[in-house]
Structure 1
Amino acid sequence: MRTLWVKVLLWGYAAFSMTPLVVMVLSSFRPTSEIFDDPLGLPGSPVFSNYVKAWTEASFSTYVANSVLVVVSAVLLGAAVSLLAAYSLGRRIFRGRSLFAAYFVSGMTLPAHLGVLPLFYLMESMGLVDSRLGLILVYAAGSIPFNVFVLTAFFRQLPHELDEAAALDGAGPFATFWHVMLPLVRPAIATVVVFQFVPLWNDFFYPLVLMRDEGKLTLPVGLTNFFGEFQNDWGTLFAGLVMTTIPLVVLFVVATRQIVAGLTAGMNR
């Protein structure tokens, strides 16, 4: 009976949490007049023109393309650098390893926004203000401390016999990393990718500070212009919000199994 009540509570919480998302999706297929008449009603006749209007007239396609380019590039770059650093910290013994580990962890102790002024001057001196490359580098650098912290723990959990067996087979450090270690930490990679993708996709602060050209804006900042221009067209607004949410939903659906494996790794050890 206790298990039944737990399931009922969890399903009830899930249904409650999904209600705003369902309302948003349904409203995206309704004209504005119909939304005002019955805000929580079902679409009488689905209207797909809201999506067409949001994608074309509101420059939404540009914002989406910028966000995909910047966020995907930053996540991949940050993960690649973090994997190499975490592999060295987790599997190699060398002088100063603890110091390097503490250095990476220290990057998680202070809010990154506190250093926005020197960061802005640094990017300006490098000619990277109002540049997608500059935003990619800022995002990638900001993700490295957390990624290294998580990935190092996963690398340390792997048996050291794997390194010995790879060395006996003639594999060097990079071959061992690529062919032996990397496949074993895929759950951890999926975890850090998702945990970095979501806040970067929703980040408003850095694009607002570093970007000036409207054609280079990412979705969070672009949405402010979108809301200002289409504040009376609720059907188009909801269509834009749905398109903003779709990549996050797809990412979670695709990576759910790896995320769960990553978060529960080591529980049976």
Structure 2
Amino acid sequence: MTLPALRVRGSHRSRGTPVAYIAAILVVGVTLVPMVYVFLGGFRTTAQINADPAGLPSPWVLDNYLAILTAGSFWRFLGNSALIAAVATVLAVALGSMAAFALSRYSFKGRDALYGLFTLGLLFPIGVATLPLYLMLRQLDMLENPFGVAIAEAAFSLPVTIVILRPFMRAIPGELEEAAVLDGATRLGFFWRILLPLSAPALTTVAVLAFVTSWNAYLLPLLVFNEPQNFTLPLGVATFQSQYTQDTARVLAFTALSMLPALGFFVLAERRIVGGLTGSVKG
């Protein structure tokens, strides 16, 4: 490679770097600025917000957050969301891993068509199926039941779970399975003892995605739950906003607290999500 070529490449790189930095700053600004505004708004009074909407807390007010944290309704909403999200995540990961195992390690007629059907599920919006799901849950007498919502949300998490897990499992060498069979392991034993541990990065990825998706779900719980004691956190935020329409600061505080669990969970698992998706793409 000649020296001029190196200079040309270096010049392109130097011109591209500021553009990338500016784009990253814009994305971070669009993402973080509203969140920072919500969190800081909870430390102000409604009068301060009305007087100076873009100002900083002066003085800092803790009453909004303390009032919400000491109220039982917030923790009840939080517990309902945690229960539904945990059940939906366990079901999605368990069923998705078994389906991905069959689609990646077994050869049978219609395997690719079945996988394509799951892939099409990524394009199927939950809003289209909300009314049929509501009628089905009513027939099964599962309205006002958190498990009815969890099962439905797990079903909608299955397509992305299988799409991520299948190539990851398929990339695991067949020699490992042959060696396990020679050692006396069954297909189920290979799946449980070898394949699942090796697929841990992808399993973590789909678990986080299923949990966050279920945690943020709004439409289906809105139709299934009518009793306030069964509301999830997103429904609790909407209810709180309708009750305290004039108290903007307290609404911002409630919204900020409702974002913290999912945000913290996602931030802690960010590296595992990236690792799982990278392994899936390579597979």
**TM-score after normalising by structure 2:** 0.86
Residues 125 and 234 of structure 1: CA distance in aligned 2, closer, same or farther (over 3 Å):
same
SS in 2 for 1:107: helix
Q: How many Å separate the matches in 2 of 1:235 and 1:22?
A: 14
Which of the pair has more CA radius of gyration? 2
- Tell me the equivalent position of 2:126: 112
Pick aligned residue for 1:131 from 145, 169, 177: 145
**What are the superposed Cα offsets for residues 43-75 of structure 1, whole Å, 9 maximum, x if unpaired?**
223322212222344822211111111112111
Q: Which runs of structure 2 are paired with 1:1-269 in the superposition (5 Å)?
A: 1-2=14-15, 4-5=17-18, 6-57=20-71, 59-265=73-279
Give the CA deviation at 1:113. 2.8
**What are the superposed Cα offsets for residues 209-252 of structure 1, whole Å, 9 maximum, x if unpaired?**
11111110112222221001111222211111111111222122
Give the CA deviation at 1:207. 0.9
Give the CA deviation at 1:268. 6.1
Unaligned runs of 5+ in 1: none
SS in 2 for 1:171: coil
Residues 130 and 90 of structure 1: CA distance in aligned 2, closer, same or farther (over 3 Å):
same
Supply the AA of the counterpart residue of 1:36.
N
What root-mean-square deviation, in Å, do the aligned CA atoms of Structure 1 and Structure 2 show?
2.2
Q: How many aligned residue pairs are there?
A: 269
Give the CA deviation at 1:127. 0.9
- Tell me the equivalent position of 2:10: none
SS in 1 for 2:143: coil
Give the CA deviation at 1:95. 4.2
SS in 2 for 1:108: helix
Moved more, 69-78 or 190-199: 190-199
Q: How many Å separate the matches in 2 of 1:99 and 1:263?
A: 23
Residues 110 and 206 of structure 1: CA distance in aligned 2, closer, same or farther (over 3 Å):
same
SS in 1 for 2:267: helix
**TM-score after normalising by structure 1:** 0.90
Moved more, 66-75 or 47-56: 47-56
Give the CA deviation at 1:83. 0.6
* Aligned partners of 1:75 and 1:197 also within 8 Å: yes
Q: How many Å separate the matches in 2 of 1:109 and 1:157?
A: 25
